[in-house]
Amino acid sequence: GAVVSQHPSRVICKSGTSVKIECRSLDFQATTMFWYRQFPKQSLMLMATSNEGSKATYEQGVEKDKFLINHASLTLSTLTVTSAHPEDSSFYICSARGVVQGGQGDEQYFGPGTRLTVT
Amino acid sequence: KQEVTQIPAALSVPEGENLVLNCSFTDSAIYNLQWFRQDPGKGLTSLLLIQSSQREQTSGRLNASLDKSSGRSTLYIAASQPGDSATYLCAVWSGGGGADGLTFGKGTHLIIQP
Protein backbone atom coordinates (compact mmCIF):
# COMPACT_ATOMS: atom_id res chain seq x y z
CA GLY A 1 0.00 0.00 0.00
CA ALA A 2 0.83 3.70 0.02
CA VAL A 3 1.95 4.07 -3.57
CA VAL A 4 2.31 7.48 -5.15
CA SER A 5 2.83 7.81 -8.88
CA GLN A 6 4.03 10.72 -10.96
CA HIS A 7 3.65 11.30 -14.65
CA PRO A 8 5.67 11.93 -16.69
CA SER A 9 8.92 10.64 -15.23
CA ARG A 10 10.95 12.74 -17.61
CA VAL A 11 10.07 15.66 -19.86
CA ILE A 12 12.01 17.94 -22.15
CA CYS A 13 10.34 21.11 -23.33
CA LYS A 14 11.22 24.31 -25.09
CA SER A 15 11.52 27.60 -23.30
CA GLY A 16 8.19 29.42 -23.11
CA THR A 17 5.99 26.35 -23.14
CA SER A 18 3.98 24.94 -20.23
CA VAL A 19 4.38 21.51 -18.68
CA LYS A 20 1.93 19.63 -16.50
CA ILE A 21 3.04 17.04 -13.95
CA GLU A 22 0.55 14.69 -12.32
CA CYS A 23 0.79 13.19 -8.87
CA ARG A 24 -1.56 10.40 -7.85
CA SER A 25 -2.02 8.42 -4.67
CA LEU A 26 -2.94 5.00 -5.98
CA ASP A 27 -4.26 3.14 -2.98
CA PHE A 28 -5.11 5.70 -0.35
CA GLN A 29 -6.76 9.08 -0.02
CA ALA A 30 -4.37 11.94 0.41
CA THR A 31 -5.62 14.66 2.69
CA THR A 32 -2.72 16.82 1.61
CA MET A 33 -0.23 16.69 -1.21
CA PHE A 34 3.10 18.48 -1.37
CA TRP A 35 5.35 19.55 -4.20
CA TYR A 36 9.12 19.67 -3.78
CA ARG A 37 11.92 20.72 -6.07
CA GLN A 38 15.47 19.46 -6.06
CA PHE A 39 18.31 21.14 -7.93
CA PRO A 40 21.47 19.13 -8.66
CA LYS A 41 23.40 18.25 -5.52
CA GLN A 42 20.91 20.15 -3.39
CA SER A 43 18.32 18.95 -0.96
CA LEU A 44 14.62 18.92 -1.56
CA MET A 45 12.87 22.19 -1.00
CA LEU A 46 9.17 22.46 -0.37
CA MET A 47 7.43 24.53 -3.03
CA ALA A 48 3.80 24.33 -2.04
CA THR A 49 1.18 22.50 -0.08
CA SER A 50 -1.96 21.37 -1.84
CA ASN A 51 -5.24 20.59 -0.13
CA GLU A 52 -8.14 19.04 -1.99
CA GLY A 53 -10.70 21.61 -3.01
CA SER A 54 -8.80 24.65 -1.84
CA LYS A 55 -6.04 26.91 -3.04
CA ALA A 56 -2.47 25.79 -2.63
CA THR A 57 -0.20 27.38 -0.08
CA TYR A 58 3.11 28.45 -1.57
CA GLU A 59 6.44 28.76 0.18
CA GLN A 60 8.19 32.10 0.21
CA GLY A 61 9.95 32.77 -3.05
CA VAL A 62 7.83 30.40 -5.14
CA GLU A 63 5.77 32.19 -7.79
CA LYS A 64 2.20 30.96 -7.60
CA ASP A 65 1.38 32.27 -11.07
CA LYS A 66 4.26 30.33 -12.54
CA PHE A 67 3.72 27.07 -10.69
CA LEU A 68 0.01 26.35 -10.88
CA ILE A 69 -1.25 23.65 -8.57
CA ASN A 70 -4.62 21.99 -8.85
CA HIS A 71 -5.82 19.42 -6.36
CA ALA A 72 -8.98 18.15 -7.98
CA SER A 73 -9.55 15.10 -5.83
CA LEU A 74 -8.20 13.22 -2.84
CA THR A 75 -6.01 11.18 -5.16
CA LEU A 76 -4.77 13.67 -7.74
CA SER A 77 -2.75 16.85 -7.69
CA THR A 78 -1.20 18.54 -10.72
CA LEU A 79 1.67 20.99 -11.01
CA THR A 80 1.82 23.10 -14.14
CA VAL A 81 5.03 24.96 -14.87
CA THR A 82 3.93 27.87 -17.04
CA SER A 83 6.17 29.65 -19.51
CA ALA A 84 9.05 27.41 -18.53
CA HIS A 85 12.60 28.70 -18.65
CA PRO A 86 15.93 26.86 -18.46
CA GLU A 87 16.30 27.84 -14.80
CA ASP A 88 13.14 25.85 -14.07
CA SER A 89 14.99 22.69 -15.05
CA SER A 90 14.95 20.56 -11.94
CA PHE A 91 13.73 17.36 -10.34
CA TYR A 92 10.17 17.77 -9.11
CA ILE A 93 8.88 15.35 -6.49
CA CYS A 94 5.43 15.15 -5.03
CA SER A 95 4.33 13.54 -1.83
CA ALA A 96 0.99 12.64 -0.37
CA ARG A 97 -0.02 12.54 3.24
CA GLY A 98 -2.71 10.21 4.47
CA VAL A 99 -3.47 7.48 6.94
CA VAL A 100 -2.52 4.14 5.47
CA GLN A 101 -3.30 0.76 6.95
CA GLY A 102 -0.15 -0.63 8.43
CA GLY A 103 1.54 2.73 8.47
CA GLN A 104 2.79 4.51 11.51
CA GLY A 105 0.44 7.39 11.27
CA ASP A 106 0.15 10.47 9.14
CA GLU A 107 3.20 9.80 7.00
CA GLN A 108 4.24 11.35 3.74
CA TYR A 109 4.64 9.02 0.79
CA PHE A 110 6.75 10.18 -2.09
CA GLY A 111 6.37 9.83 -5.81
CA PRO A 112 9.29 8.76 -8.02
CA GLY A 113 9.88 12.29 -9.28
CA THR A 114 9.80 14.07 -12.64
CA ARG A 115 12.95 15.29 -14.34
CA LEU A 116 12.17 18.51 -16.19
CA THR A 117 14.62 19.88 -18.71
CA VAL A 118 13.86 23.17 -20.39
CA THR A 119 15.89 23.91 -23.50
CA LYS B 1 12.37 28.56 10.81
CA GLN B 2 13.34 24.92 11.06
CA GLU B 3 16.76 23.99 9.73
CA VAL B 4 18.12 20.49 9.31
CA THR B 5 21.82 19.71 9.13
CA GLN B 6 23.40 16.41 8.20
CA ILE B 7 26.92 15.37 8.99
CA PRO B 8 28.99 14.18 7.27
CA ALA B 9 28.14 15.44 3.80
CA ALA B 10 29.94 12.48 2.29
CA LEU B 11 31.29 9.21 3.60
CA SER B 12 33.22 6.37 1.98
CA VAL B 13 33.85 3.16 3.91
CA PRO B 14 34.83 -0.44 3.13
CA GLU B 15 32.14 -3.05 2.90
CA GLY B 16 31.19 -4.66 6.20
CA GLU B 17 31.72 -1.68 8.44
CA ASN B 18 29.10 -0.31 10.78
CA LEU B 19 28.46 3.39 10.35
CA VAL B 20 26.50 6.26 11.79
CA LEU B 21 24.94 9.17 9.97
CA ASN B 22 24.01 12.25 11.93
CA CYS B 23 21.13 14.66 11.66
CA SER B 24 20.37 17.72 13.76
CA PHE B 25 17.46 20.13 13.71
CA THR B 26 17.09 23.57 15.21
CA ASP B 27 13.49 23.48 16.44
CA SER B 28 12.77 20.57 18.74
CA ALA B 29 9.00 21.00 18.36
CA ILE B 30 8.61 18.29 15.75
CA TYR B 31 5.94 15.70 15.17
CA ASN B 32 8.14 13.14 13.51
CA LEU B 33 11.42 12.57 11.74
CA GLN B 34 12.02 10.45 8.66
CA TRP B 35 15.11 8.98 7.09
CA PHE B 36 15.08 8.51 3.34
CA ARG B 37 17.35 6.99 0.78
CA GLN B 38 17.80 8.52 -2.65
CA ASP B 39 19.62 6.82 -5.49
CA PRO B 40 21.10 9.01 -8.24
CA GLY B 41 18.38 10.56 -10.39
CA LYS B 42 15.68 8.72 -8.51
CA GLY B 43 12.94 9.55 -6.06
CA LEU B 44 12.92 8.91 -2.35
CA THR B 45 12.59 5.67 -0.48
CA SER B 46 11.39 5.99 3.08
CA LEU B 47 13.58 4.00 5.44
CA LEU B 48 12.38 4.77 8.92
CA LEU B 49 9.86 7.09 10.54
CA ILE B 50 10.21 8.04 14.18
CA GLN B 51 7.35 9.75 15.96
CA SER B 52 8.26 12.49 18.41
CA SER B 53 7.25 10.25 21.31
CA GLN B 54 9.57 7.45 20.19
CA ARG B 55 13.27 7.03 20.87
CA GLU B 56 14.20 4.67 18.07
CA GLN B 57 13.01 2.55 15.18
CA THR B 58 14.62 -0.49 13.61
CA SER B 59 14.30 -2.09 10.22
CA GLY B 60 16.68 -4.87 9.30
CA ARG B 61 20.22 -3.53 9.43
CA LEU B 62 19.02 0.01 10.02
CA ASN B 63 18.41 1.65 13.35
CA ALA B 64 17.37 5.25 13.78
CA SER B 65 17.38 7.07 17.09
CA LEU B 66 15.79 10.34 18.07
CA ASP B 67 16.68 12.70 20.88
CA LYS B 68 14.04 15.32 20.41
CA SER B 69 15.11 17.57 23.27
CA SER B 70 18.60 17.95 21.90
CA GLY B 71 17.45 18.10 18.29
CA ARG B 72 19.41 15.09 17.11
CA SER B 73 18.87 11.86 15.25
CA THR B 74 21.25 9.18 14.08
CA LEU B 75 20.92 6.49 11.46
CA TYR B 76 22.98 3.42 12.22
CA ILE B 77 23.75 1.04 9.38
CA ALA B 78 25.13 -2.32 10.40
CA ALA B 79 27.35 -4.51 8.23
CA SER B 80 27.31 -2.13 5.30
CA GLN B 81 27.01 -3.47 1.75
CA PRO B 82 27.80 -1.92 -1.64
CA GLY B 83 24.06 -1.79 -2.30
CA ASP B 84 23.75 0.66 0.58
CA SER B 85 25.55 3.27 -1.52
CA ALA B 86 23.17 6.19 -1.94
CA THR B 87 22.35 9.60 -0.52
CA TYR B 88 20.61 9.46 2.84
CA LEU B 89 18.28 12.29 3.71
CA CYS B 90 16.89 13.26 7.06
CA ALA B 91 13.64 15.21 7.20
CA VAL B 92 11.47 16.56 10.00
CA TRP B 93 7.83 17.42 10.11
CA SER B 94 7.12 20.38 12.32
CA GLY B 95 3.37 20.08 12.09
CA GLY B 96 1.42 23.27 11.53
CA GLY B 97 -1.94 21.58 11.66
CA GLY B 98 -0.84 18.85 9.30
CA ALA B 99 -0.49 21.20 6.38
CA ASP B 100 3.25 21.70 6.42
CA GLY B 101 5.67 19.79 4.32
CA LEU B 102 8.90 18.27 5.47
CA THR B 103 12.14 20.15 6.02
CA PHE B 104 15.05 18.23 4.57
CA GLY B 105 18.74 18.19 5.30
CA LYS B 106 21.20 18.27 2.43
CA GLY B 107 21.94 14.60 2.80
CA THR B 108 24.91 12.34 3.37
CA HIS B 109 26.38 10.82 0.21
CA LEU B 110 27.44 7.33 1.20
CA ILE B 111 29.76 5.09 -0.79
CA ILE B 112 30.40 1.53 0.33
CA GLN B 113 33.54 0.16 -1.26
CA PRO B 114 33.40 -3.51 -2.30
- Write out chain A's pLDDT in tens, 119 residues: 688 999 999 999 999 999 999 999 998 888 889 999 988 878 889 999 988 878 899 998 999 999 999 888 889 999 999 999 999 999 999 999 877 777 666 678 899 999 999 99
Confidence grade of residue B48 (pLDDT, cut at 50, 70, 90): very high
Instruction: Indicate the residue of B36, B42, B104 with minimum beta-carbon distance to A112.
Output: B42
Instruction: Indicate the residue of A43, A46, A109 with minimum beta-carbon distance to B106.
Output: A43
Whole-number pLDDT of residue A43: 83
Whole-number pLDDT of residue B1: 82
Least confident of B18-22, B25-29, B43-47: B43-47
10 Å CB burial of residue B101 (0-12, 13-18, 19+) is buried
* Rounded average pLDDT over B21-44: 91
All residues of chain A having their beta carbon less than 8 Å from the beta carbon of residue B106 are 42-43
All residues of chain B having their beta carbon less than 8 Å from the beta carbon of residue A51 are 99
* Non-local CB neighbours of B4 within 8 Å, separated by 6+ positions: B23, B24, B25, B26, B90, B91, B92, B103, B104, B105
Is the bond into A86 cis (omega within 30 degrees of 0)?
no
Confidence grade of residue B98 (pLDDT, cut at 50, 70, 90): very low
Helices assigned H by DSSP within chain B: none
pLDDT beyond 90 at B33: yes
* Non-local CB neighbours of B16 within 8 Å, separated by 6+ positions: B79, B80
Q: Are residues A80 and A19 in contact, defined by beta-carbon separation less than 8 angstroms?
A: yes
All residues of chain A having their beta carbon less than 8 Å from the beta carbon of residue B87 are none
Whole-number pLDDT of residue A113: 92
* Rounded average pLDDT over B75-90: 97
Cα B63 to Cα B69: distance, rounded to the nearest angstrom: 19
Selected residue with higher pLDDT from A100 and B99: A100
- The Cα of A101 is separated from the nearest Cα of chain B by a number of Å equal to 15
Cα B90 to Cα B48: distance, rounded to the nearest angstrom: 10
Cα B17 to Cα B65: distance, rounded to the nearest angstrom: 19
CB interface of B with A, residues 51-110, below 8 Å = 51, 89, 91, 93, 98-107
Please answer yes or no on whether A108 and B93 come within 8 Å at the CB atom.
yes
Q: Tell me the three state secondary structure of residue A87.
A: helix
Counting residues of chain B whose pLDDT is more than 90, the rounded percentage is 76
